[in-house]
Every structure is written in C-alpha cells, then in structure tokens.
Amino acid sequence: MDTGMSAVTPLGQRQPLCRKLEQTGPAIDRWDLLDLVKTNRIELGIGEREIAVLSAHLTVMPKGSLIPGALNISYMEVEKILLRANCMGDRRFRRGEVTLADAGLVVRKLSPNKRRFPLRVGGKIIDAYGIDINPLLDRVADLKMMRDARLLREEQQNLLRTKISSRIRAIRDNFNLSISEMVESFEAFAVEVRKISRRKSTGTEEMIALLDRVIAFEADLMSPPCPSRSDDGNTPGSAYLSDRNAADAGQSVRHNESYLKELIKDIPKPSVARSPAKEEIKPDTCGHRKPKSHLEFHPGRIRALWSSTSNLNEMYPEAPGNERQLYNLLHEYSSYFRLGQETFARSLAILGWECLLVAMDYLAEKIQSIQSPRAYFQSMLKSFESGQRIAGGRVSPAGLTALSTAV
C-alpha cells in the first residue's frame, strides 16, 4: 500500500533521518581548542567550572583532531562523565553546561526525557542526544583573533609597566631628593603609580596616561619654574625654595640651584700666587681665554665651544644664550648618564661651565664602552683635582687652580 511517505522520511517527517555532515573548517586538536577557551575565558564570561565541564566533554570525543561540522556530540551519561570532571557535583556540572550554552560555545541537545544517547542505523551512529560542541569549533577563527588581541594588549601593558618602573627608578637615582617635602611628595607619587600599574583592571589607555603623568612629573623636577612676579617685585617661589633670598628670585631651579650653591661654597679653593695683570688673559686648555672665575658665563666662548662639540651640538643644535639655559641643558644631559644631583653640582663647582661642557661631550663619546658612567665621571673629577688631564687631554687643571680662588 502506498502511504505517500518516502522511505527516508518515516512517520511523515520532513527531515531525513541521516544528518548531512559537511566539514565547515580546518581540523583542530582538542587540547589546542581548550587552550583557546582558557585564554579567552574572561571575554567569554566563563570560569574554572565551565572549563572543567568542557574539558570533560572533550575527553569523550573520538580520537584525533576535531573536524568542524562532523558529529561532535558528547552523549556520555552525566553520572559517568562526572568522573572526568574531577568528581564534580551533578547540579554544578549541569549549571556549567548551561553557562557554556549561554556563551554560545555548545548546544544542549537532550532527548524529551532529558537523556543522552546515540542514534544508530545499521550499527552506525548517525546522530545523538547530548552536548554539541560544533558551535565552539565554528568560532575557532574568532577565538584566535581574540587571543592575539589579548596577547598584544598584555605585551603593550608589560612594556608600558616596564617604562613606568624605569622612569620612577631613574627619578630616584638622578635627583637628590634631600628636602623632606620633596621626599614625601615623590614617595606618595611613586606609591600611587605602583598601585595603578599593578592593578589588573588597568587597561592600555590608562597605562599610557599614567606614563604621561610620570614623564610630566620628571619634567617638572628638571625644568625651572615659571613664576609670576608680585606687586612688591618678589617672585612667589615653590614650596621647595622657601629659604631663598630676594637676590635669587626668578634665578633658581626648583630642586637644585640652592643646593648647588651650598656645594660650591663647601668645595675648598686652592690658594696660588698669581699676577693680577695676567689674571684675565690666561688661556685655558679648551683653546679660549680664561675669565676671572671658571663659573662666569661668557656667551661668545660658550657658543664657540658648543659648535665644536659633536654630541651636545647634535642633541641641542642651538647654543644656550644665558647661564640659566646652559645650566638646564647640562643638568638634563647629565641625567641621561645618571650622574646624580650631587655629582653634577660638584663637577660644575670643580670644572666650571666651559670645561664641564667639554667633559660632558667626551663622556657621551665613550658611553658605549663605559659600564658605569657615574663612577667613570667621578674618577675624571678625582684625576682633575690631582692635576691630571681628563677628557682625552681636552681639559687640564693648568691655570684653573689659580683662577678658582676668584670664585
């Protein structure tokens, strides 16, 4: 009798009994797939429970790589698969499956009575009720892109975190924070930066903004203040310069010039007999005439020396026009070698503007072969004080000891 039904559509079913299985993507190892899920667990909104549940289902998949579009259904009974999930509780295991389904990683395809079992025809499994992981396999490309983007963000954040830490360490090494207010301000700032940089929720944009704050903080220490004069002619100073007098108003660098004056004052000055008539015309070893004091500023001499340097002139093409500009440039340049505030101030007091300029340029030439620039520069100062030539013979104490008594 003709019932009007096809042999492959019994009971009037409109879909064929056998599923059409077609490969929809490249095969992938199951454990590589699990690693992708672990890497993107935060973006996927899953936790350890869901990962353990997914791992248990992957263990019952057929041997070999998983092929997207194939019959990738885990139909083992829950009571048995719990052993593969570290003996997780029944209810907790099922809640983990629901979370995986809500995340779009699996499909819970259960029978009407909530059972899981395969469907066979002629002894061959053609379909099954259980947990279908094909949705996860279809998202492999997206998961790889998410992983690469995450790794890139982590690398950028680690790089920024390293830069921030290095900047903080450089500030601590390069600046003599001897004033209590500066120490407290810097330490509070360093603690705040450290907390923000180590916070897991700090993103790349926040790290970039934090690095900008550190750079601005460092620039604020290195740069002179920009005060405005009051009606009485005095310049309101920083909290770090509360002890300066009116003669220093507008002429001191925030964190070091008053300190520099104290160092210069404490450095012993040799007493050498000299002729007053020849005092102003004695030549120095840099090829120019010596001023009365090695700390006097002569724009013409500085411009001539500046143009003869190789490294300083390359970094700062325009020669400083006054004592303040020269001080700031040399101080900034010394920070690249991590000489420290005290070493820089002492070198200026001993060598003076012009010979210090030549010595700094020489130090830059030798920087690639010097393991510790600060120790090397301090040894140059000791040699200079003992009467030896330094900076490859370009700087000599000859004539300087006699002139330094005028300081």
Task: Check residue 19 and give its pLDDT.
Answer: 59
How distant is the alpha carbon of residue 172 from its chain centre? 17
Average pLDDT over residues 89-106: 94
Long-range contacts of 59-65 (CB under 8 A, 24+ apart): 59/84, 60/84, 61/30, 61/133, 64/27, 65/27, 65/28, 65/29, 65/30
Helices then strands, each counted (H, E), the chain: 16, 4
Q: Give the DSSP letter string of 131-188.
A: EE-HHHHHTHHHHHHHHHHHHHHHHHHHHHHHHHHHHHHHHHHHS---SHHHHHHHHH
Q: pLDDT tens digit string along 47-95?
A: 999 999 999 999 999 888 999 988 899 999 999 999 999 889 999 999 9
* Nearest residue to 390 (alpha-carbon basis) of 233, 245, 285: 285
The confidence band for 333, taking pLDDT boundaries of 50, 70 and 90, is confident
The confidence band for 236, taking pLDDT boundaries of 50, 70 and 90, is very low
Task: Flag whether pLDDT at 25 surpasses 50.
Answer: yes
Element (DSSP H or E) covering residue 362 = helix 341-365
Q: pLDDT tens digit string along 284-317?
A: 444 444 444 667 777 778 888 888 888 888 888 8
- Which of 75-84, 320-329, 355-364 holds the top average pLDDT? 75-84
Task: Check residue 273 and give its pLDDT.
Answer: 38
Neighbours of 211 (CB within 10 A): 18
Neighbours of 341 (CB within 10 A): 22
Task: Flag whether pLDDT at 402 surpasses 50.
Answer: no
Q: Which residue has the tokens 């220093």?
A: 248
Task: Check residue 93 and give its pLDDT.
Answer: 94
Q: Which residue has the tokens 């009606």?
A: 231
Q: pLDDT tens digit string along 135-182?
A: 999 999 999 999 999 889 889 889 998 989 888 888 777 665 544 556
As to burial, measured by CB atoms within 10 angstroms (0-12 exposed, 13-18 middle, 19+ buried), residue 396 is middle
121, 17 contact by CB (below 8 A)? yes
Neighbours of 294 (CB within 10 A): 23
Average pLDDT over residues 321-340: 84
Amino acid at site 69: G
Average pLDDT over residues 257-277: 43
How is residue 241 annotated by DSSP? G
pLDDT, averaged across the chain:
75
For residue 216, what are its two tokens? 């601005």
Task: Check residue 57 and give its pLDDT.
Answer: 94
Q: pLDDT tens digit string along 195-228?
A: 998 888 888 888 898 888 888 887 776 654 444 4
